[in-house]
Amino acid sequence: MQLGMIGLGRMGGNIVRRLMNKGHSCVVYDAQPDSVNQLASEGAIPSQDLVQLLDQLTSPKAVWVMLPAGPITESTIATLGEMMSAGDIIIDGGNSNFQDDVRRAKTLAEKGIRYIDVGTSGGVWGLDRGYCMMIGGDKTAFDHLDPIFKTLAPGVGSIDRTPGREGRQSTAEEGYLYTGPAGSGHFVKMVHNGIEYGLMQAYAEGLDILKCVNQEVIPAERRYDLDLADITELWRRGSVVSSWLLDLSAISLAEDPELKAFSGRVDDSGEGRWTIQAAIEEAVPADVLTAALYARFRSRQDHTFAEKVLSAMRKQFGGHQESKKS
């Protein structure tokens, strides 16, 4: 199947590679020519601009936008909306606010252009592991693009089936799911990221407690010099708190037990804030998720080992670098 891709960063580039590895044809564009040239050398069809990208796609044209949420995504989708025709498909696979999706879908529908919002999880590991995708928008577009989603998803793999799901007709077990109308995909991904904040904070605080038990303020007989790299590795083996985030923490601590490469400054990309805003609108208590977001705010003022753990996890799963102090 053919797909156009705009944005060839950490995730966009690897999405193209995973698709090409499974026989799909990808027409690519990025503002950085080097990124386009690199993927062209691997088999993608290069484009110098959006006009050339669209000219090289067959109808119905499907274009995946994988750019940072905000003005650049907004302007790119608006431009595509002016250039594309009825029946074509625009996919936003970034982390846009779900309310923007609702508005865009309505505007594009007036021209007959179908809009899909894809909450995409998988980070820099997605090329090999696959991407978990939460997909909202036009159902006919989702059905048309099913071969793309099926290729990008991790598949059933070796995970045991959940008891009680027998007879369900769903793609969830394969790692992708149509969640409903426009915005629902990014809404589910937004809450997913809010939960991620809480999980990461719990690991970070727990590891900080383990590290700080060796302080002089603690009575000598209760002072333990614990190997956090070994403890996180231990917890990966049969523990109830095992998870991929713990796997990534174990990798970071094995590489750098003191996490000296990290200052502990932890950024947030917006979804955590939007999750809390949704909780307020719905009058849903979200104590843990709110506290986790505020901990990230605090990290930009002073840094603990817990914040270094958070920074290390973000680098492992998403390739995120710490930003410099302003």
List residues with catalytic annotation. 189, 196
Measured on CA atoms in the order 208, 214, 215, 220, is the torsion positive or negative?
Answer: positive
Which ranges constitute the DSSP H helices of 162-270? Answer: 184-212, 228-235, 244-255
CA distance 127 to 115: 25
| CB count in 10 Å sphere of residue 31 | 12
Is residue 63 a contact partner of residue 15, using CB atoms and an 8 Å limit? Answer: no
CA distances from 28 to 22, 36, 51, 84 (A): 17, 7, 12, 16
Separation of CA 251 from chain center: 20
- Helices and strands (H, E) in the chain, number of each type: 14, 8
Are 159 and 135 within 8 A, CB to CB? no
Helix (H) or strand (E) holding 50: helix 50-55
Token pair of 156, please?
């059933």
| Burial (Cβ within 10 Å: 0-12, 13-18, ≥19) of residue 160 | exposed
Instruction: Write out the E strands in 66-122.
Output: 89-92, 114-121
